Amino acid sequence: MKQLFLIVSLVLLSLSAYSKKIEVRENGKISSIKEAILLAHDFDTIVVKSGKYKEYGIKVDKPLTIIGENFPVIDGELKGEIITVIADHVTLDGLFIINVGTSYTSDYAAVRVVKSKHFLIQNLVLEKLFFGIYLEKSSHGKVFHNKIIGEAVEEYSSGNGIHLWYCKNIEVDQNIVTHVRDGIYLEFSNFCTITNNESLNNIRYGLHFMFSNDDVYRGNTFAKNGAGVAVMFSKRIEMYENIFQENWGSASYGLLLKEINDSKIIGNTFETNTIGINIEGSNRILYKDNIFRSNGWAIKVRGACYTNEFINNQFLSNSFDVSYNSKLNDNVFDSNYWSKYAGYDLDKDGIGDVPFRPVKLFSYIVNRTPETIVLMRSLFIDIIDFSEKVSPVFTPDELQDLHPLMKRIR
Partner 1 sequence: MFKILKYSFFDLVRSRWSYVYFLFYLALASVLLFLNHDLSKAVITLMNVIIVLVPLIGTIFGVMYYYNSKEFTELLLAQPIKRSSIFLGQYFGVAVSLSLSLLLGIGIPFLLYGLFESDAIWDFSLLLLTGVFLTFIFTAIAFNISLSNENKIKGFGYAVMMWLFLAVIYDGLFLLSLVMFEDYPLDKLSLIGTMLNPVDLSRTLILLKLDISALLGYTGAVFKQFFGTNVGLFLSIGVLCIWVIVPVLRIVAKAKKKDF
Per CB under 8 A, residues contacting partner 1 are 248-251, 272-275, 294-297, 317, 319-320, 365, 368-383
CB of 394 to partner 1, least distance (A): 12
Q: How far apart are CA 157 and CA 153, in angstroms?
A: 8
The per-residue b/e assignment along 372-406, b for 16 or more CB within 10 angstroms, e otherwise, is eeeeeeeeebeeebeebeeebebbbeebbbebbbe
Cα dist. 47→313, 326, 399 in Å? 51, 62, 63
CB of 360 to partner 1, least distance (A): 12
Identify which of residues 385 and 397 has a Cβ nearer to partner 1 in the complex: 385
CB of 249 to partner 1, least distance (A): 6
Identify which of residues 102 and 372 has a Cβ nearer to partner 1 in the complex: 372
Q: How many C-beta atoms surround the C-beta of residue 42 within 10 A?
A: 11
Calculate the dihedral angle through the C-alpha atoms of 297, 220, 335, 409, rounding to the nearest 10 degrees.
-110
Identify which of residues 130 and 362 has a Cβ nearer to partner 1 in the complex: 362
CB of 227 to partner 1, least distance (A): 13
The per-residue b/e assignment along 103-123, b for 16 or more CB within 10 angstroms, e otherwise, is eeeebbbbbbbeebeebebbb
Decide if 140 contacts 111 (C-beta within 8 A). Answer: no
Q: How far apart are CA 60 and CA 36, in angstroms?
A: 10
CB of 181 to partner 1, least distance (A): 22
Identify which of residues 294 and 335 has a Cβ nearer to partner 1 in the complex: 294
Identify which of residues 14 and 250 has a Cβ nearer to partner 1 in the complex: 250
Coil vs helix vs strand at 339:
coil
Q: How many C-beta atoms surround the C-beta of residue 155 within 10 A?
A: 12
Identify which of residues 65 and 318 has a Cβ nearer to partner 1 in the complex: 318
Identify which of residues 134 and 320 has a Cβ nearer to partner 1 in the complex: 320
Identify which of residues 243 and 381 has a Cβ nearer to partner 1 in the complex: 381
CB of 370 to partner 1, least distance (A): 4
Coil vs helix vs strand at 221:
strand
Cα dist. 378→270, 375, 384, 387, 400 in Å? 26, 6, 10, 15, 24
Identify which of residues 67 and 275 has a Cβ nearer to partner 1 in the complex: 275
Q: Treating both helix axes as pointing N-terminal to C-terminal, what angle do 361-368 and 379-390 enclose, rounded to 10 degrees?
A: 110
CB of 125 to partner 1, least distance (A): 33
CB of 366 to partner 1, least distance (A): 8
CB of 343 to partner 1, least distance (A): 16
Q: How far apart are CA 44 and CA 26, in angstroms?
A: 20
CB of 342 to partner 1, least distance (A): 12
Q: How many C-beta atoms surround the C-beta of residue 371 within 10 A?
A: 7
Coil vs helix vs strand at 230:
strand
* 33 CB-near residues (< 8 Å, 6+ apart): 24, 46, 48, 53, 55, 58, 66, 74
Phi and psi based region of residue 35 (left: phi greater than 0; alpha: psi -120 to 50; beta: remaining): alpha
Identify which of residues 147 and 300 has a Cβ nearer to partner 1 in the complex: 300
